[in-house]
Chain A
Amino acid sequence: MKVPRKQVRRVDGLTFTNVLTGGKLTLLCDAKTDGSFLVHHFLSFYLKANCKVCFVALVQSFSHYNIVGQKLGVSLTAARERGQLVFLEGLKSSVDVFFRAEEEAHPLHFLREAHAGNLQPLYEFVQVALKPADREEAAWTCPVLLVDDLSVLLSLGVGAVAVLDLVHYCRAAVCWKLQGNIVALVHDSGDTEDEENDILLNGLSHQSHLILRAEGLATGFCRDVHGQLKILWRRPSQPAAQRARSLTYQYKIQDKSVSFFAKGMSPAVL
Chain B
Amino acid sequence: MRGGGGGAEGRGWLNRSGLPLPEVGGALAAGNRGCSFYSWISHSDRRHFTTQRPPSSFLPPSSSLLTRLPVVTCIHFTETNAPHSAYGGGDKESGVCPEQGRSTAHARKAAMRQDPERNSVEWEGRSLLKALIKKSALSGEQVHILGCEVSEEEFREGFDSSINSQLVYHDFFRDPLNWSKTGDALPGGPLGVLRAMCTRTGPGPVTIALDSLSWLLLHLPCTTLCQTLNALSHKDSCPGDSFPSEHVHVLGLLHEELHGPGPLAALSTLAQTETQWFSILPDFSLDLQGVSPLKSQPHADAYTSPVDLSTHLTFNLHLSKKEKEAKDSLTLPFQFSSEKQHALLRRGLSQATSHIFYEPDAYDDLDQEDPDDDLDI
A residues at B contact (CB < 8 Å): 118, 120, 123, 161, 164-165, 168-169, 172, 176, 188, 190-191, 193, 198-199, 201-203, 205-207, 211, 232, 234-235, 237-246
Contact = CB atoms under 8 A, between A and B. Distances in A.
B94 to A, nearest CB: 9
A176 B151 CA distance: 7
Interface in B148-168: 149, 151, 154, 157-158
Contact of A246 (B122, B151, B214, B282): B122
Nearest to A27: B121
Contacts of A207: 149
Given A123-B179, A172-B173, A202-B121, A239 B99 contact: yes
B282 A238 contact: yes
Contacts of A201: 118
A203 B97 contact: no
Contacts of B123: 242, 244
B3 interface: no
Given A206-B149, A239-B158, 17 more contacts: A123-B179, A165-B177, A168-B176, A169-B175, A169-B179, A172-B173, A172-B174, A176-B151, A176-B173, A202-B257, A206-B255, A234-B121, A234-B122, A237-B158, A239-B131, A242-B127, A244-B124
A240 B96 contact: yes
Contact of A241 (B97, B257, B281): B97
A246 B151 CA distance: 25
A161 B259 CA distance: 12
Interface in B93-150: 95-97, 99, 114, 116, 118-124, 127, 130-131, 149
Contacts of A191: 116
B16 interface: no
Contacts of B173: 168, 172, 176
Interface of B: 43, 90, 92, 95-97, 99, 114, 116, 118-124, 127, 130-131, 149, 151, 154, 157-158, 173-177, 179, 214, 218-219, 255, 257-258, 280-282, 284
A193 B116 CA distance: 11
B126 to A, nearest CB: 8
Contact of A232 (B116, B121, B158, B177): B121
A188 B116 CA distance: 11
A161 B256 CA distance: 15
Contacts of B280: 239, 242
B130 to A, nearest CB: 8
Contacts of A246: 119, 122
Contact of B124 (A168, A176, A203, A235): A235
Contacts of A188: 118
Contacts of A245: 92
A205 B214 CA distance: 13
Contacts of B258: 199, 202-203
A10 to B, nearest CB: 27
A199 B122 CA distance: 17
A140 to B, nearest CB: 23
A215 to B, nearest CB: 10
Given A240-B97, A243-B97, A120 B121 contact: no
Contacts of B282: 238-240
Contacts, number: 90
15 contacts: A120-B179, A168-B149, A172-B151, A176-B173, A198-B257, A202-B255, A202-B257, A202-B258, A203-B255, A203-B258, A211-B121, A239-B284, A240-B95, A242-B124, A246-B122
Contacts of B175: 169, 172
Contacts of A242: 97, 99, 123-124, 127, 280
B96 A118 contact: no
Contacts of B96: 240
Contacts of B43: 206
Contact of B177 (A118, A176, A235, A237): A118
Nearest to A177: B174
A69 B81 CA distance: 47
Max chain B Cβ within 10 angstroms of own Cβ: one of A120, A198, A205: A205
A158 to B, nearest CB: 14
Contacts of B120: 202
B370 to A, nearest CB: 44
A244 B125 CA distance: 12
A210 B265 CA distance: 31
Contacts of B119: 232, 246
A199 to B, nearest CB: 5
B99 A243 contact: yes
B290 to A, nearest CB: 21
B85 to A, nearest CB: 15
Given A211-B121, A239-B280, A239-B284, A161 B218 contact: yes
A161 B176 CA distance: 13
B92 A243 contact: yes
Nearest to A238: B282
Contact of B157 (A165, A168, A232, A237): A237
A263 to B, nearest CB: 16
Max chain B Cβ within 10 angstroms of own Cβ: one of A191, A234, A239: A239
A234 B97 CA distance: 16
Nearest to A161: B218
Nearest to A204: B121
Nearest to B87: A243
Contacts of A202: 120-121, 255, 257-258
